Amino acid sequence: MFRREFLPPVGQLMAFESAARHGSVSRAAAELHLTQSAISRQIKQLEDQIGTALFHRVRQRVVLTEAGRVYAAELRGGLESLASATQRAMTLGGIGDVLNLAALPMFATRWLIPRMKRFAALQPDVTVNFASRTEPFDFAREPFDAAIHFGAAFWPGASCDYLLGESVVPVCSPEFKRRHRVQHKEDLAGLCLLQQSSRPTQWAEWFEQVKVAAPHAMRGPRYEQFSMLAQAAASGHGLALVPRFLVEEEIAAERLVVLFREALITQHAYYLAIPEAGGRNRLVQAFRDWLVGEASAAALKPAPARPGLRPPKT
């Protein structure tokens, strides 16, 4: 809970932030459509409330003090958050129901968004807003109704519904496979292994599962997201371990090839996390029921086969 004595008027904060950004009272006045004296007065009132100087006055310019520099940097983010919150509230006026969803970027892009037209057909008056999040967060502090989560079936202050497991397979570009004459699982241990930053032991686990010695399994370029990892592999930079359902497009287009049948089996899965406070929300429950149904149907559907291609050798 904020304390009111530490919250100056917004006009004073905007005057200070603009002058700090421009290094000029006159330019701040032009930006905010105020007089220079009005800007100077608001900054002086802010300095009086804080109890410290925020600017050094140097001829026709203003130069931030150390306290002013720190304050301006933190204040800018606060003003941006306030503006964003106001904009979000404005977008809700005059429209139907809105669902704000946080999702893992590649899961949303490759799996969820292509299916959303079916949800729209069931709920034509609902607007679904997507935002990218890769780590769990506090629902009490973030404006989301639900989130797509990968890991264990746990999220503080939320319930988790199982969606999909993963079949993580080794892939590379066809050119990379030809160039390095990959024929056996043992061949992979000496090649460039592309790493996923949030899963640093993934290659080591795969090699252990297929009983291949690979002392350097945790070495190699690291990529933060699967989309980067898949693109690097398709561009011929090395081998990648990726969830198959996220790269079906690349496999179908022959930009990536699956090298071996053996998939890494993990204890983790994709879940829909819903905050406890939102569990009774009609719209959230409708989305949950639809999404769980879609995931169940996808899990039962076999991977698409391409005619004329033989299964990868093991």
Tokens 């291949």 identify what position? 212
**Does residue 239 belong to any structural domain of this protein?**
yes
Same domain, 253 and 134: no
Q: What CATH number does residue 224 fall under? A: 3.40.190.10
- Residue 179 has a pLDDT of 96
> What is the pTM (predicted TM-score) of this model?
0.66
Task: List Cα–Cα distances, 108 to 73, 111, 177, in angstroms.
Answer: 33, 6, 29
| Residues near 302 by beta carbon (within 8 Å), at least 6 away in sequence | none
- Residue 89 has a pLDDT of 63
Same domain, 225 and 187: yes
254-302 pLDDT tens trace: 999 999 989 998 788 999 999 987 767 889 999 999 999 999 998 766 5
Domain-terminating residue out of 91, 115, 142: 91
Same domain, 194 and 54: no
Domain-terminating residue out of 32, 63, 91: 91
The band of 81, judged by pLDDT with boundaries at 50, 70 and 90, is confident
Q: CA 306 to CA 279: how far, in whole Å?
A: 42
Strand ordering across the sheet containing 257-258: 240-243, 168-172, 257-258
Confidence check: pLDDT of 25 > 70: yes
Same domain, 174 and 148: no
Confidence check: pLDDT of 111 > 60: yes
- Residue 90 has a pLDDT of 56
Domain-terminating residue out of 91, 110, 142: 91
**Does residue 12 belong to any structural domain of this protein?**
yes
Same domain, 128 and 193: no
**Does residue 306 belong to any structural domain of this protein?**
no
Q: CA 116 to CA 45: how far, in whole Å?
A: 52
**Does residue 235 belong to any structural domain of this protein?**
yes
**Does residue 295 belong to any structural domain of this protein?**
yes
178-207 pLDDT tens trace: 999 999 999 999 999 999 998 999 999 999
Average pLDDT of the chain, as a whole number: 88
**Does residue 131 belong to any structural domain of this protein?**
yes
What is the CB neighbour count within 10 angstroms for residue 10? Answer: 10
**Does residue 129 belong to any structural domain of this protein?**
yes
Same domain, 190 and 252: yes
Same domain, 69 and 214: no
Same domain, 179 and 252: yes
Averaged pLDDT for residues 96-117? 91
Confidence check: pLDDT of 6 > 90: no
**Does residue 309 belong to any structural domain of this protein?**
no
The band of 303, judged by pLDDT with boundaries at 50, 70 and 90, is very low
Q: What CATH number does residue 80 fall under? A: 1.10.10.10
Same domain, 190 and 218: yes
30-64 pLDDT tens trace: 999 999 999 999 999 999 999 999 999 877 678 99
Same domain, 105 and 83: no
Which residue range forms the structural domain that includes residue 214?
168-258
Find which of 2-16, 137-151, 188-202, 298-312 is predicted with most confidence, using mean pLDDT.
188-202
Number of separate domains in the chain: 3
Same domain, 179 and 136: no
Same domain, 141 and 279: yes
